[in-house]
Structure 1
């Protein structure tokens, strides 16, 4: 039985409170039948007699006894304070994020119309020199979406590797999402050295970090905007290694297939930097066949994103596909709270005895 925050182990003890109104009625009945005789020399003197304060307060003594009885009943019911304790066991997912940071990731082709109009009226030279344009680039959007993906996870270890012409581990598998997000925010096109895009090496680097994991599910999410042209290990051979290790690989290609790209141009005579648009060439873009092959070999999926909204939807889908199974076992731990009731009841009995034999003593 629970009343508020208290749990009563022996609630049947409250049946004893039924006797309280019985005792009150018995006291009133006996008090009314009690007859006292006092001899007065004249009735006029008796009529002027007014009950003193002591007489009016004579009912305090039995009231203290009844309150003490109520306290003892509460103590007998064993009030307890319950504190709920939860143990959570998880079958976690280990996730390595492989991120392309090559120079082409600075391309401004995933802008909305509003963002493109906003950039068009801003000083191109200032944005280029300050590096602020990066937050509107493929890499900038990828970092923001990946950060949101990390914040949605709760019990999974996540790591980060980056690649351009060479691949480097930025953060091993960790549950410290705060540190991981700080490392991710500092990633830029100079984080990984070398010219080109080493997709195969980027995947192998992630596999090296995740191969000793004992997690129930192991995943690599690889994002790139180009074709492999600098790897020591071919992407499809790296996919074979992932398959042998039981690691699932999701591949994400970013960038428009066709259309115009917003970029910078420099006036050869004045050196002034301004905005310019150019058409996407056939040589640019991702190698969909290779990325699809990696995903198919490992049981993952291939995705294509041409704008930020599509990229957000992709990572949301991966988040749903790779959910952690959490089993929670809850139990309650109780601490006894009947001692104060016993103490108060005992003090009320002592006070009742003291008053009954001193201030409110009755002489038959």
Structure 2
């Protein structure tokens, strides 16, 4: 005879459907704060529905996806879950912004081994905040509880943003020419790049999350969320239109690798090192890690989160407008011709 066994449930296998339902209930009011024109159906359905606003005559959809990287390791270790959701949104919406796109909606993917409703709600609360600050709707996502796939207390994040821009107003960088001015918008910290090296420096320095760092707890400085440039830049784009020749989001690859992505071959962004002061966090990381200048400029944003290329005769007006909308702006340098066929950035 076969011995009778106790019936198994999904909960026995490590998946708590009730916890997932509770999370959805907690997410709905957060998502509701992000609703905007165009949303036809949001969280709860099999697919989210969005209608491109009718004010667009020839809309082109622009999409972007990203994660938060190993900054999440510090979120786990230091129990800082409320800001990484902002990072998730910012990394995607800032990317699509550089082509002139207005972010319309956002979807997230949250995966873990065992779902903690409280932790997940903190993370999604940050995602909703990021969406609210960038004017896009959080209209869907996925929470995946996968026992055995992730260590206890850890999770992974991915985000997906879709925006729109008029076909005639797409920013490509193709009109950038020698003599144009390179403006830099200040970052809020390391944003969400270079954290594998940053964590290595923290380990070497024996740094603690609560230790004082120029009047703030170190963890607040290290975990400061990525700055959202969407609303200020969209306002400036509405005012100056085609005068914005090119934009670069300074993410992985830093100033050295990201600015050339918008330049034609034979051009270089010639940036003056003394045009801006290296923020305290980056100066400390460089000193503690003995990191070379070139490595710093290729790994970290070094205090510049967005680059904007404009005509020299309008640089002053555009700078004033950016400042009016809350940005700290630096005149980093200019576009020059270079002998190389490859576009490049020089920091001198």
Give the TM-score normalised by structure 2: 0.20
Q: Which structure has the larger Rg?
A: 1
Which structure's relative contact order is higher, taking Cα pairs within 8 Å and 6+ residues apart? 1
Higher share in helix:
1
